[in-house]
Chain A
Amino acid sequence: AQKITQTQPGMFVQEKEAVTLDCTYDTSDPSYGLFWYKQPSSGEMIFLIYQGSYDQQNATEGRYSLNFQKARKSANLVISASQLGDSAMYFCAMRERGSYQLIWGAGTKLIIKP
Chain B
Amino acid sequence: DAGVTQSPTHLIKTRGQQVTLRCSPKSGHDTVSWYQQALGQGPQFIFQYYEEEERQRGNFPDRFSGHQFPNYSSELNVNALLLGDSALYLCASSLYGRDSNQPQHFGDGTRLSIL
Between A and B, how many residue pairs show CB distances below 8 Å? 70
Q: A99-B56, A104-B43 are in contact. Are A47 and B101 (CB under 8 A)?
A: no
Name the distance in Å between B84's Cβ and chain A's nearest Cβ. Answer: 18
Q: Across the interface, name the chain A residue whose C-beta is closest to B49.
A: A100
Name the distance in Å between A61's Cβ and chain B's nearest Cβ. Answer: 11
Count of B residues near A, CB < 8 Å? 27
Taking a contact as CB atoms under 8 Å apart, the answer to whether B48 and A101 are in contact is: yes
Binds B, one of A14-22, A27-35, A65-73, A76-84: A27-35
Q: How long is the Cα–Cα vector from A96 to B105 in the complex, in angstroms?
A: 17
Q: How long is the Cα–Cα vector from A52 to B9 in the complex, in angstroms?
A: 34
Q: Using CB atoms and an 8 Å cutoff, list the residues of chain B in contact with chain A.
A: 31, 33, 35, 41-45, 48, 55-56, 58, 88, 90, 92, 98-101, 103-109, 111
Q: Using CB atoms and an 8 Å cutoff, list the residues of chain A in contact with chain B.
A: 4, 31-33, 35, 37, 42-47, 50, 52-53, 91, 93, 95-107
